Structures are given as C-alpha cells and as structure tokens.
Amino acid sequence: MWHTKMLSQLFKAAKKRKFKIVVTPSSATGHLDDETDGFHLLSSGMADGAILLDNANHDIRFDFLHMRKIPYVLVGQVDIEEATWVDLDNYGVGKIGCEHLVKKGYKKICFFLGQSQYHVNDLRAQGFEEVAKAKGIEYKVVYDVDSMESVYKTAKEVYEDFKYDALFISGSERAVGAYRAVYEMGLKIPEDVAVLGIDNLSICENLYPSMSVVDQHCDNLRKDNKLLDGLINKEEDIQGKQLLTCNTIVEREST
C-alpha cells in the first residue's frame, strides 16, 4: 500500500512536468536481461533518467548509472557525496516514534523492521536506539519482519521472552498483523500493548482501535521529479543536492 501511495505521488508530479514514467523490475540487487528492464532502457537511450526506490547497501544501480553518466535521483539516503536524493527523515522516524511512546509512559518497547540490507531500516533503528538508551528504557530491535504474517508470528514469539508494553512497527500495513497477535494473547490495545505504525495509510483510521502512526508526508517526494528535470537539463547546483522531508506523529487510539 505504501509503495502504491508513493508511486501515485511520483506520477502526479511527472504529469505536471510532462514526463513519461516507466515502472520496471530493476532493483538494488539485480535486473532482467530483456528490453522491459530499466537498465536496458537507460543504456539504450530509450529513457533520459531514473528515479530509484528502495536503495540497499552495495546497490548495483549506482555503479551502472555513474559509469554511463546517466542522470538519476534516489528516493532514499546514501553516503555518496555526488548522489542526488530526496528522502524521508528515517533517522528522525525512529527518534520521534520512540519519543512518543516513552512520553506516553511505555517502558518496554519492541521495534519491528524490514530487511536489514536496506539502508532505511538501519537509519530508523539508529534513531530509535539513540532515544531508548538516553531514556533508559528496555528495548528490542527485530529485523526481517516484512509482512503482516511475519508481524503476527514475531509479535507472539517475542512476547514469550520479552514482555513488551509497546510495539513500534515499520510499515502500518504490516502492523495490522500485531492486532491479531495481541488479541490472541488475551491482551488489549492500548491498555496492555500500544501499537505505533509508520506510513499514514487510510487503513489506520479504520482499525479498532484506530492506529497511531508516524506520518512521513510522502507528497514531499514529488521534489525528486524537479531534481531529475534539473539533472537532465544540466542545471547548476542540482548534482549532489540532498533533501530530507519531515515526519509528524498522528496520535489515535492505539497509543
């Protein structure tokens, strides 16, 4: 759901600039060897530039684009000085989420994240741990929890040894799995366990109790189209420009 929402914002921005967007299966770890793949479209000159999603450590796309001097903007943060990117402040996501739960009085927090190979998850964990250590609370960070089903299973497994009173979950769609797990354990939200998600999807308001979230304001990602336009047209001061967007807490009933 989050990727659909994010792509919708990219398409809206592209339409205003009269860009045509082709969504391809190219990824940080591999690509297809046919004409439908983004790598082929770029290297053959059939596309002018690229917007990259879901960057990972050792992302193969960076070397490919740099070698061919193909303009690109990354939706994600990297430690490459010449890279141009727009990103949600994922370090800030971890911080603001932990701060919110601590402020609400929770003292034993478990943070579920997706695959550890993605830089976004490392940043969120770093921000979360900084606050957790400073506040002196008990905490646990669990990676590779990347679906509703895995959240459901992991929430029950972790609770056996770590009786958390709050779950902070990367991705509000995945967090739905925590609701079932909490109720099957005979607990209540938020009286026994708080649930805080990330990404303010419409589903969050319709759950019972409604889910509190860290809203990342993904409409700000439209800025990547403007940056890519500047790179393609060789505008000055665009190469290496790096923008972080803000996060806010939307408090509902689950915390």
Q: Same domain, yes or no, for 106 and 211? A: yes
Determine the residue type at 5.
K
Concatenate the DSSP letters of all residues of 79-145 into one string.
S-TT--EEEE-HHHHHHHHHHHHHHTT--EEEEE-S-TTBHHHHHHHHHHHHHHHHHT-EEEEE---
Say if 246 falls within a structural domain. Answer: no
Say if 251 falls within a structural domain. Answer: no
Token pair listed for 155: 């929430």
Q: Same domain, yes or no, for 44 and 106? A: no
Q: What is the CATH number of the domain that holds 126?
A: 3.40.50.2300
Say if 225 falls within a structural domain. Answer: yes
Q: Same domain, yes or no, for 75 and 123? A: no
Question: Residue 66: which domain range?
Answer: 2-88+218-237
How far apart are the C-alpha atoms of 241 and 227, rounded to whole Å? 8
Say if 100 falls within a structural domain. Answer: yes
Q: Same domain, yes or no, for 16 and 43? A: yes
pLDDT tens sequence for the chain (255 residues): 767 777 777 777 778 778 887 777 777 777 656 676 777 778 788 888 888 877 777 777 877 888 888 888 887 777 777 778 788 889 999 999 999 999 999 999 999 999 988 888 999 999 999 999 999 999 999 999 999 999 999 999 999 999 999 999 999 999 999 999 999 999 999 999 999 999 888 899 999 999 999 998 766 666 656 666 776 677 766 777 777 788 899 999 999
Q: Same domain, yes or no, for 198 and 106? A: yes
- Token pair 């830089």 is at which residue? 119
Q: Same domain, yes or no, for 138 and 198? A: yes
How far apart are the C-alpha atoms of 240 and 230, rounded to whole Å? 12
Q: Same domain, yes or no, for 180 and 66? A: no
Q: Which of 65, 63, 66, 62 is nearest to 76 (CA)?
A: 62
Say if 250 falls within a structural domain. Answer: no
Q: Same domain, yes or no, for 77 and 145? A: no
Token pair listed for 140: 């646990």
How many folded domains does the chain comprise?
2
- Token pair 């530039």 is at which residue? 49
Q: Same domain, yes or no, for 102 and 210? A: yes
200, 215 in Cβ contact below 8 A? yes
Say if 249 falls within a structural domain. Answer: no
